[in-house]
Structures are given as structure tokens and as C-alpha cells.
Amino acid sequence: MYYYVYDEFIQDPKFERELSLVETRLTDLGISGKIARLALFRDAKTLIQDEIKKGAKTIVAVGNDLTLTKVIEAVADSGVAVAVIPIGSPNSNRMADILGVPAGVVACDVLSARIIEEIDAGDINGHRFLHSAIIEDAVAPMIVCNGNYKLMPTKRASIEIKNLTLPEPDVRAANPTDGRLEIVIRTQGRSWIGKKKVTVSVVPVELARITSPEIMKITIDGKSIEAREFKIRVIPNQLRVITGKGRKF
């Protein structure tokens, strides 16, 4: 049984034709199902968990990365499969791109092929995530890694926790099947000739704790929370995700 979660933004008239093509294709493939349309006062987590109790086996996020994040938080330890039909700009669908799922109606064929990968999830203070989380400007943070060693940047630092990301010029890709997260710490300084210099440290972890004397804001797959302490862990093989042949991990 498929359960389709339509995000609020795709109810804009400009997406009407694309959604119509998607729905027609799903019917042709024999995988249409119940639809939930999210709105300001409808809690996605409650809706999804209620349908799982009723027997839903595949939860499909129809929208963007934020839609997929809502689904991931809701499915938790249920064991159901998660999928995405990306709608909107490529910049708002980075996770779908890494999973090898093209935008719009073509995603229906990926869903029908049903190639399922078991991948890790990250957890920060009880919030599940698939892609990454970032603290843009941490003041005097203390990072305890795997419970046995500490990192204490002496300057302001940006701290990124990666689970499913593409490589960058200064950082390798994060593999969501290796049972760990990558903590990337960037601090700014100056070289001996006075030029600005960014120092990058990468630490693989299964568990970590980040604390600061000041309130920190962390953005977890597009959702922001604030605290003085963030408890971080990886949950190996926690998500069953439908991917395309062009997945990038």
C-alpha cells in the first residue's frame, strides 16, 4: 500500500499540470494510493504514523528535501520503505539527486522499479536526518567524539555533520552505508603572510556531543533548532529508501 504525502507548496496552480501527469503515470503503473495533502495545521508525523498503523508499506514524499525530511522523521523505526517524487527547483531537491531520483513524472518509474537500499540515518537531539546538519557560527564549541576524545576549536567555527553528501573541493563524500557520520570543522585564520586561511578537519564518528557556552542554532536537513548541547549519533541501516540506478553513493 502506497501513501503519498503532498507538501503544501505543490498545491500552487503552477504545479497543477505536473501533478496531473504524475498521478496519471502512477495509475498506469498500478501504484496509485491514498493521498495526504499537508497544510499549516496538519501534522505530517501524526498523519503518516496513523497510516503506517493501518498498513501502509511505502511512504512517498511528493515535494522537495523538506518534504522528505518530514517523512523520515515520521517513519522512525517502522521499517516501511521511503520514496520521493521531486517537485520544484533542483536546489531544493539535493537529496533526491543523490538518491538517483529525477524530478517530476519520470520519478514514478523509479518508484515502480522499487530498488530499495538500506542506509544510515543521523539523529540529533531526537531529530532524524538523511543528508546533513550545520552549525554556521559556533562560539568556543567543545566536541566530544565517540566518547573518548575532545576537539575544542579556539576560534569561531562552522560545524557540519554529514551522512549523505557529495564530495566538495576540501571534503570527501559522506557514505550513508558505512555506519558513521562525518563531522567537518572549518575555522578561519590567517597565513604567515596575512592571507585569510580556512582550516578544515574531518572526523568520522558514531557518537558525538557538541556543547557551547552560548545558544547554538543547527539546521538539520533544512529544519532549525536551538540549544547549548547537541547529542549526535548514527543509526546504521535504519532507513529503507527507494533509489534510482543513478544514485551517487
- Span 204-236, pLDDT tens digits: 999 999 999 999 999 999 999 999 999 999 999
- pLDDT score at 41: 64
What's the whole-number mean pLDDT along residues 78-92? 95
The model's pTM:
0.90
Per DSSP, the three-state class of 1 is coil
- Grid coordinates representing 237 are 541501516
Per DSSP, the three-state class of 44 is helix
Domain boundaries of the chain, sorted by first residue: 2-113, 127-236
Question: Rounded to an integer, what distance in angstroms lies between the CA atom of residue 224 and that of residue 28?
Answer: 39
Same fold, 2-113 and 127-236: no
Phi and psi at residue 123, in whole multiples of 5°? Answer: -140, 125
Q: Which residues pair with 149 in a beta bridge?
A: 145
- pLDDT score at 193: 61
DSSP codes, 164-187 = SB--BTTBPPBPTTSS-EEEEEEE
pLDDT digits (tens, 9 = 90+) for 100-151: 999 999 999 999 999 999 999 999 999 999 999 999 989 889 999 999 889 9
Phi-psi region of 164 (alpha: psi -120 to 50; beta: other; left: phi over 0): beta
Contacting residues for 28 by C-beta, under 8 A, at least 6 apart: none
Q: Which residues pair with 231 in a beta bridge?
A: 209
Q: State the DSSP H helix or E strand holding residue 150, giving kind and residue range, or none if neither.
A: strand 149-151
Q: Quick check: 127 and 220 in contact, CB under 8 A? A: yes
Give percent of the chain above pLDDT 70.
96
Q: Does domain 2-113 have CATH number 3.40.50.10330?
A: yes
CB atoms within 10 A of CB 117: 16
| Side-chain half-sphere CA neighbours of 63 within 13 A | 23
Q: Quick check: 29 and 109 in contact, CB under 8 A? A: yes
CATH of domain 127-236: 2.60.200.40
